[in-house]
Structure 1
Amino acid sequence: MSLINVTNLTFAYDGSYDNIFENVSFQIDTDWKLGFTGRNGRGKTTFLNLLLGKYEYSGSISSKAPFEYFPYEVKNKENNTIDVIEEIFPNYVLWEVMRELSLLEVDEDVLYRPFSTLSNGEQTKVMLAALFLKENSFLLIDEPTNHLDIDARKVVSDYLRTKHGFILVSHDRAFLDNCIDHVLSINKTDIEIQKGDFSSWWANKELQDSYELAENDKLKKDIKRLSEAAKRTADWSNKAEAKKIGFDPAITEKNIGRRPYQGAKAKKMMSRSKSIQERQQSAIEDKSKLLKNIESSEKLKISQLSFHTDRLVELENVSVFYGDKTACHDVTFTIEQGDRIALTGKNGSGKSSIIKLICGEDINYTGTFRKSNQLRISYVSQNTAHLYGNLKEYATANEIDESLFKAILRKLDFSRIQFEKDISDFSGGQKKKVLIAKSLCDKAHLHIWDEPLNFIDVISRMQIEDLLLEHQPTIFFVEHDIEFCNNIATKIVQL
């Protein structure tokens, strides 16, 4: 066991006036299994890069253990997998590699196949196996779930539960709950560490937020009362002071001796006024300490168009082909208005092929497929590589209301500064939010979302869940976040 000490860490990117971190201090035990959470764009990957020494910063980071980052960059994917592992860890022992692959439910024959022929999920598992061969390092695992289906996520989460000594960036609640014992969270104004899993951290955060909101309401009433009292007392003391130092026609020979009394009274009132003002200022300062880490999670809205028939899409015994390869076969289901259908299945089972067929791409298929030409579909793709330009240009190009589009992004925790940047410079989660916000602006009868939550932070996922549960739009989606699927889906189509 050793400690990682972060002391007075302050960092900002070149050319930026805003610090990502400012005077941040905390300790990490290298035996912990840390889940790392926070809103998109708060600096999770930046912090990992600071640990790796990639940027200059003020303050100090000290650790006896070296850091190791996942995912690795594989320069030559045509090499056999065993050669890729050797590049990552030249001192590997074959039986240890095979042991880790077995725990990750990967056949050992992948070792002697070109790395490029492995599925994305297999590549992820191989790199994780290589990562955990480095026993004396503290491991920085950055979003390993993005290319894993539901079954693979369970396997990897179970695997990580048997390990220790890592920071894990993930937004999958069930995945985190299964394999971590501490939470490292980037809040609006600080970084904090709590013992427990994600659910216990979230429950504690909700309790703290509720307390701060109640205290804030109470404090606002107190400040109003104190302000009014201070104003009244200031008026009294000013009048008394005027009587003390100026001419008062009410003072006659009979009560001239009251001048010292008037002075004492004025002094007392001035003192009371000053005391009340100090109490008011103290209350304002206390207020400033509240609400600093409460996350904005305003409700989202969607206005879906109504279609002239209940049945929107029908597939009966549909099989999809690419050349002589079958992507999926004998698929049968219908999409009716009000359905929230989760399309599930292992990677490679044909989910994306079904989505392409419904969205109107030229797909080779057999069986019966029916869809009205008048059906308007709003589609969110897995891929964000096509996003570039500023948000105004994007809204214009996609014929959506710019004000509504930006309002939705603000609710999804975009700062106004973000609106001035090129979309290509956004984080992965922020790019996905652009696609979702655009989809919420679309005038459509059916929303089709293909893995919409990749890279998106937990709080935004909960906002999207609340949206779908409240407005109940017709949606057909692929998503590997099991908790999201369980909360949202009214039907499940298993491939």
Structure 2
Amino acid sequence: MNAMTRIEIKNLTFGFDEQLQPLFKDVSLTLDASWKLGLIGRNGRGKTTFLKLLQGVYPYQGKIKQQLKFNYFPQKIMKQQQTVTQILKESTVAEEWKLERELNLLAVDPGILERSFASLSGGEQTKVLLALLFTHELAYPLIDEPTNHLDLAARKQVMHYLQQKKQGMIVISHDREFMNGIADHILALEKQQPVLYQGNFATYEEEKRRCDEHAQQENIKLKKESTRLRQTALQKAEWAQGRERDKYGSPTQKGSGAILDTGFIGARAARTMKRAKLLVHRMEEKAAAKENLLQNIEKVEPLSLNFRPQHHQVLLRVEQFQLFYADQALFQPLNFELHQGQCLALMGVNGVGKSSLMHYLLGDFAGTSSGEVMRPQKLKLSYLQQKFENNTGTLVEFADKWKLEYGQLLNTLHKLGINRKVFESPLEKMSMGQRKRVELAKSLLTPAELFLWDEPLNYLDVFNREQLEQLIAQKQPTMLLSEHDETFIKNVGAQKVVLHRLTNTN
């Protein structure tokens, strides 16, 4: 491996000042820069921080040796009212045709070059930023969560786009299918140390499963051995204590003239007690080994949600329904029914009106509508919003604002994988993954007859996704969701309702 094409990390230690334990402790790795490396791990484990450390953003202990020029996605666009062409001229020396080439590979209309960045949809912005990233042909890409806000078709386009790139890169994503399509190596930030796997996400899952099963089997063996040693040590200690009493004779021997070999009894008792202490020491070593075996097994607790079933069997009946902005229909006339205990997934390209439909049901849609939506009166809704950046303040204030029981909020956040040391931080200082889990906990705890979830998986790690899959499959709440993760939709048994754009008949 050429020194120019590798990243050597030796004894890396780093943690933020407010953290009791460092994110990384004495980490040593060698990464080949030709790999398409998937970086995975639970939220708060340090994935984005790892990319920042490679770029030299934070001071750290240890060494990171590399001769690469890093380029990070998503780039910050300070002047969002500028056109994409103007942004290109200020952010790179690349010719405009190179950006057009990359946009074409991403199936983006070149006409957006003359639109302001702010006017683009979230998916369009993602594609523009990726195209800008790859106009820097000599830079090494660090790509952080590219699938957020991408619809299903766009995810496949971006996955294919990155597949075709000859160069290596590091990609952070929680989308399992996306990672399977891109990564040839996986770096998993485990609880104790990062672990490197050769293969894609499916390979990692299988090897991780085998490793965890082996650790659990060994743990059972160690538990049995520890129990046996404990019992043996207790028996030996009891025998030694009994012999120590024999040195002075039993009450029936007193005054009988019997002569006891107290020296022999004392020595034997001492040897037995010593062996008992050695057994206790061995037992403690076994217990420590047991803890080490289980150190990288993720503890994922089951979630609960405050679902209040309705006596009505049909909660929504939608007939020939459309939404309009400035007299422009967002989608073709829509017809569907949502029954008690059913999960429906709203499908369609970004911008077709999935979020707008939820806002209409919440009563805060700014446009107009036609057709009919029939539902029970005073239907209790729990809404998980896609954009939650406006949530600020402490968790105590957040719980008070949304009328949540504070203890239940903390308990749910802990089950979602947020470390208790984060609880004292204001929301604006939490990571995006932590803030998303606060928003999710709010929806789970809000008593509701119908749950409206708008892209619930953005920023959530794989373990959280599996928690939600198990929760929905078990509790079968009445739910209308918008999501682009095919694996999730399949696993929760959601039926699809597709929103189609109006075709231009002119």
TM-score bracket, normalised by the shorter chain, equals over 0.9
Task: Please state whether the residue corresponding to 2:330 is helix, strand or coil.
Answer: strand
Show the 5 A alignment for 1:112-131: 112-131=114-133
Kindly state the Cα deviation for residue 296 of structure 1 after the two structures are TM-superposed. 1.6
Give the 3-state SS of the residue equivalent to 1:464 in structure 2: helix
Whole-angstrom distance in 1 between the partners of 2:249 and 2:311: 87
Alpha-carbon distance in 1 for matches of 2:397, 2:115: 45
**Among candidates 323, 333, 336, match of residue 336 of structure 2:** 333
Match of 1:138 in 2: 140
Residues in 2 aligned to 1:252 and 1:89: alpha-carbon distance in whole angstroms: 105
- Residue 493 of structure 1 aligns with which residue? 497
Matched ranges for 1:70-81 at <5 A:
70-81=73-84
Task: Give the alignment of 1:251-330 within 5 angstroms.
Answer: 262=265, 265-266=268-269, 268-330=271-333
Paired residues of 2:473 and 2:493 also in contact (CA < 8 A)? no
Partner of 2:310, secondary structure, is coil
Is the alpha carbon distance of 1:267 and 1:62 closer, same or farther for their aligned partners in structure 2, counting shifts above 3 Å? same
After TM superposition, the structure 1 = structure 2 runs for residues 461-480 of structure 1, keeping only pairs within 5 Å, are: 461-480=465-484
| Among 180, 200, 217, the residue aligned to 2:203 | 200
Partner residue, 2:22: 19
| 1:473 counterpart SS class | coil
Secondary structure (helix, strand or coil) at the match of 1:388 reads coil
Aligned residue for 1:421? 425
CA shift at 1:59, angstroms? 1.0
Kept after mapping to 1: 8 A contact 2:6/2:31: yes
Q: Distance in 2 between matches of 1:266 and 1:402?
A: 57
Query: Given that residues 240 and 273 in structure 2 are in contact (C-alpha distance below 8 angstroms), is that contact kept between their aligned partners in structure 1?
Result: yes
> 1:155 deviation in Å?
0.6
Q: Deviations over 1:76-97 (max 9, x none)?
A: 233332332233321x244443
Match for 2:70: what amino acid? F
- The 3-state SS of whatever aligns with 1:218 is helix
Unaligned runs of 5+ in 2: 500-506
Amino acid in structure 1 at the alignment position of 2:494: T
Matches within 5 A, 1:154-169: 154-163=156-165, 164-169=167-172
TM-superposed deviation, 1:268:
4.4
Q: CA deviation at 1:196?
A: 1.1
Shift of 1:71: 0.8
Secondary structure of 1:144's aligned partner: coil
Cα distance change of structure 1 residues 461 and 251 upon mapping to structure 2, 3 Å threshold: farther
* Partner residue in 1 for 2:504: none
* Unaligned runs of at least 5 residues, structure 1: none
Q: CA shift at 1:325, angstroms?
A: 2.5
Mean Cα displacement is larger for which, 415-424 or 28-37? 415-424
Mean Cα deviation higher: 343-352 or 389-398: 389-398
Superposed, 1:41-440 pairs within 5 Å as: 41-90=44-93, 92-163=94-165, 164-240=167-243, 262=265, 265-266=268-269, 268-362=271-365, 363-440=367-444
Q: Distance in 1 between matches of 2:225 and 2:328?
A: 72
CA distance in 2, matches of 1:263, 1:371: 86
Distance change (3 Å), C-alpha of 1:319 and 1:263:
closer
Aligned-residue offset at 1:118? 3.0
Q: Residue type matched to 2:133 in 1?
A: L
1:133 counterpart SS class:
coil
Per-residue deviation, residues 206-259 of structure 1 (Å, max 9, x unmatched)? 222222223223322321221221122233345556767x78969999987x67
CA RMSD in angstroms, aligned pairs only? 2.4
1:15 to 1:367, Cα distance in 2 relative to 1, 3 A: closer
Once the 2 structures are TM-superposed, how far is the Cα of residue 37 of structure 1 from its aligned partner? 1.1
TM-score normalized by structure 1?
A: 0.92
The question of whether the paired residues in 2 share the 8 Å contact of 1:342 and 1:489 is answered with no
Structure 1 runs (4+) deviating above 4 angstroms are: 238-244, 246-256, 258-264
Q: CA deviation at 1:344?
A: 0.7
The residue identity in structure 2 corresponding to 1:87 is E
Q: Distance in 2 between the 1:114 and 1:193 partners?
A: 41
Aligned to 2:503: none
Rounded Cα–Cα distance in structure 2 between residues aligned with 1:283 and 1:218: 10
> What SS does the aligned partner of 1:492 have?
strand
Distance 1:204 1:243 in 2: 58
Cα distance change, pair 361–96 in 1 and its aligned pair in 2 (3 A): closer
Give, in angstroms, the shift of residue 365 of structure 1: 0.6
Indicate how the Cα distance of structure 1 residues 77 and 391 shifts in structure 2: closer, same or farther if over 3 A, else same.
closer
CA deviation profile, 1:18-54 (whole Å, cap 9, x unmatched): 3122112211110111111111111111111111111
The one-letter amino acid of 1:132's match is: F
What's the offset of the Cα at 1:373? 2.2
User: Quick one: which amino acid aligns to residue 281 of structure 2?
Assistant: E
Q: State the distance in 2 between where 1:320 and 1:335 align.
A: 19
User: Percent identity at matched positions?
Assistant: 38
SS in 1 for 2:346: strand
What is the rounded CA distance, in whole Å, between the counterparts of 1:267 and 1:443 in structure 2?
Answer: 65
Partners of 1:237 and 1:136 lie apart in 2 by: 75
Counterpart amino acid of residue 169 in structure 2: F
Cα distance between partner residues in 1 of 2:119 and 2:404? 40
How big is each residue's C-alpha offset from its partner over 1:410-440, in whole Å with a ceiling of 9 and x where there is no partner? 1101222222221222211222211221111
- Contact persistence 2:413–2:437 (CA under 8 A): yes
Cα distance, 1:69 vs. partner? 0.7
* SS of match in other structure, 1:434: helix
Q: Is 2:452 the counterpart of 1:448?
A: yes
Question: Which has the higher mean CA deviation after the structures are superposed, 411-420 or 394-403?
Answer: 394-403
Distance, in Å, in 2 between the alignment partners of 1:15 and 1:320 is 48
Change (3 A) 1:117 1:374: closer
Q: How far apart, CA to CA, are the structure 2 residues paired with 1:432 and 1:120?
A: 17
Between the two proteins, the alignment pairs up a number of residues equal to 492
Question: 2: CA distance between counterparts of 1:267 and 1:419?
Answer: 52
